[in-house]
Amino acid sequence: MAIFYRRLPKFRYVSPKTVEEALDFLGNHKNKAKVMAGGTDLIPQLKSREIPPPEYVVDIKGIQGLEGISYDGSTFRIGALCTINRIGNSDVIQSHFPSIVQAAQSMASPQVRNRGTFGGNICNGVPSADSAPPLLTLSAEVTIKGPGGERVIPLERFFTGPKKTSLEGDELLIDISIPKPEKGSRGVYLKLSPRHSMDLAIVGVAAWGTYLDGVCTDIKIGLGAVAPTPMRAIKAEGLIKGQKVTPDVIEEAARVAGSECSPIDDFRASAEYRRDMVYILTKRALNRIFS
Amino acid sequence: MERLNIKVNGKDYELQVKPWATLLDVIREEIGLTGTKEGCGEGECGACTVIMDGMAVNSCIVLAMEANNREVITIEGLAEGDRLHPIQEAFLEKGGMQCGFCTPGMIMSTKVLLDGNKNPTDEEIRKALEGNFCRCTGYTKIFESVKAAAEKMRGEI
């Protein structure tokens, strides 16, 4: 166990009002500044001295225009500062992406969901991030701004390792974008954790798919907490897509999902148990969307 | 030092605070309201719950400066003089506490729930209090207290 201090280490507090102001500051203080959105992960990390104290904490909540959810007819955008509760209570998100709402409501507590953001959850890059598996199944992309301008990359390429992402120290995540889903598509997020609240996923499984006359026309499966990063179960997807959906096909795909992940043993669960649970939850998720 | 303008329980404060001070530090040590408790200190237990701009937050993981120009209500802000808030009365009558350490946080989470939902279901009550841990009561009495508080606030008892 890391030593846990009651008091935060010393740092200076900066509160930029625009994206440009924030980028300027980050550019001039590369590696000395830490960006804070909700702070629900950063503050505990600083108290436990899990990360070296930064010289500056850059609170980006003063930046207008990053807190909402928008839709332009083809793409949904979740701003970097949109809180987990706002997403979990959004009628728009619920009607188009129920698996995102299921993930949001499974996270932490009301107090944390009122502050924490999906953007922060993604940027922390932990393999068990609940927001990641459903977003991966929805082909989400992230918009990043930095000194060189703007870049948009698929969420899958954003995660590079445990607590590692492709976000540079002088860049800011601006939003998470999700293409409009196909009509009739269905999704689900299933989370296994010993407690219903205030607990991390031992395994998280999201699935998203479309189904026409008994044949799967599209399927994506996202897995959390069973690899160095949140991942897609590509091989399992390949077994179902274009096939007539039968109990045998689902069984086989779920088994393959359990074998294509690479979980570790830790104090929450063994690797073997995690593989078994990926199999079980994938089967459950597929049965849920193809019923 | 940073300048912090904050309204706590209806009163305006202008304070000089350390940039690394938490909202909890300032409420307890600068303003002197010690009803809000520090439990885990990392946003897990909910003992430090206060209401900021109408929402429950863990004040141990909110920087004081994040509360700049915001309005905060603590447990001290509920009673009017000697008259307890109906939620406080209900917790007393139903025995919704033992050691009392988690109680201020429980009551603040209950207030947010009942302010927005006069007649919550059992499931909604459990969900609203999921971020508040109690190590004594086993939660049943707390749950009954919240139900009684809702009835009181609806004027049924």
A 96-115 residues inside an 8 A Cβ radius of B: 108-112, 114-115
In this structure, what CATH number is given to the domain that contains residue A219?
3.30.390.50
* pLDDT for the residue numbered A2: 59
Chain B residues with CB under 8 Å of A57 CB are: 19, 63
A39 interfacial to chain B (CB closer than 8 Å): yes
* pLDDT for the residue numbered B157: 78
pLDDT (tens digit per residue) in A114-124: 999 999 999 99
- Decide if B22 and A8 are in contact by the 8 Å CB cutoff: yes
Give the residue from B52, B69, B82, B64 showing the smallest Cα distance to B26: B64
Chain A residues with CB under 8 Å of B44 CB are: 198
Q: Which residue among B2, B57, B65 sits closest to A111, beta carbon to beta carbon?
A: B57
A152 and A91 in one domain?
Answer: yes
pLDDT (tens digit per residue) in A93-150: 999 999 999 999 999 999 999 999 999 999 999 999 999 999 999 999 999 999 999 9
- Decide if A47 and B128 are in contact by the 8 Å CB cutoff: no
Which residue in B130, B135, B139, B146 has the most chain A C-beta atoms within 10 A of its own C-beta, making it the best mutation to test that interface?
B130
- Decide if A39 and B56 are in contact by the 8 Å CB cutoff: no
ipTM above 0.95, yes or no: yes
What total number of domains does chain A contain?
2
> What is the average per-residue pLDDT within A18-44?
97
Which residue in B20, B36, B125 has the most chain A C-beta atoms within 10 A of its own C-beta, making it the best mutation to test that interface?
B20
For the entire predicted model, the pTM comes to 0.96
Kind and range of the H or E run holding B40: none
**High-pLDDT (> 90) share of chain A, %:** 95
Residues 6+ apart with CB under 8 A from A287: A250
Residue at A208 is within a domain? yes
* pLDDT for the residue numbered A6: 81
The rounded distance, in Å, linking the Cα atoms of A22 and A63 is: 9
A158 and A15 in one domain?
Answer: yes
A73 and A119 in one domain?
Answer: yes
* pLDDT for the residue numbered A233: 98
Q: Rounded mean pLDDT of chain A?
A: 96
**Nearest chain B residue to A10, by CA:** B20
A138 and A110 in one domain?
Answer: yes
The domain boundary residue, chosen from A120, A148, A180: A180
A151 and A266 in one domain?
Answer: no
Give the residue from B7, B149, B26, B142 showing the smallest Cα distance to B77: B7
* Stretches in chain B below the pLDDT threshold 70: none
Residue at A151 is within a domain? yes
The band of A3, judged by pLDDT with boundaries at 50, 70 and 90, is low
The rounded distance, in Å, linking the Cα atoms of B157 and B151 is: 6
The rounded distance, in Å, linking the Cα atoms of A153 and A140 is: 9
Entry field: residues in chain A: 291
Beta bridge partner(s), residue A70: A77
A163 interfacial to chain B (CB closer than 8 Å): no
A143 and A37 in one domain?
Answer: yes
pLDDT (tens digit per residue) in A145-176: 999 999 999 999 999 999 999 999 999 999 99
The band of A5, judged by pLDDT with boundaries at 50, 70 and 90, is confident
Chain A residues with CB under 8 Å of B130 CB are: 109-110, 196-198
Residue at A3 is within a domain? no
Residue at A250 is within a domain? yes
B127 interfacial to chain A (CB closer than 8 Å): yes
The band of A181, judged by pLDDT with boundaries at 50, 70 and 90, is very high
Beta bridge partner(s), residue A244: A215
B 67-106 residues inside an 8 A Cβ radius of A: none
- Tokens, residue A178: 């999700």
Q: Which residue among A9, A109, A114 sits closest to B20, beta carbon to beta carbon?
A: A9
Residues 6+ apart with CB under 8 A from A47: A4, A5, A6, A7, A8, B41, B42
Chain A residues with CB under 8 Å of B65 CB are: 13, 15, 59
> What is the average per-residue pLDDT within A183-210?
95
The domain boundary residue, chosen from A129, A161, A180: A180
Q: Domains (ranges, CATH) in chain B?
A: 2-75 (3.10.20.30), 86-153 (1.10.150.120)
A265 and A210 in one domain?
Answer: yes
The band of A291, judged by pLDDT with boundaries at 50, 70 and 90, is confident
Give the residue from A236, A206, A227, A210 showing the smallest Cα distance to A133: A206
The band of A18, judged by pLDDT with boundaries at 50, 70 and 90, is very high
Phi and psi based region of residue B9 (left: phi greater than 0; alpha: psi -120 to 50; beta: remaining): left
Quick check: A191 pLDDT over 60?
yes
- Please give the residue range of the domain that contains residue A234: 188-289
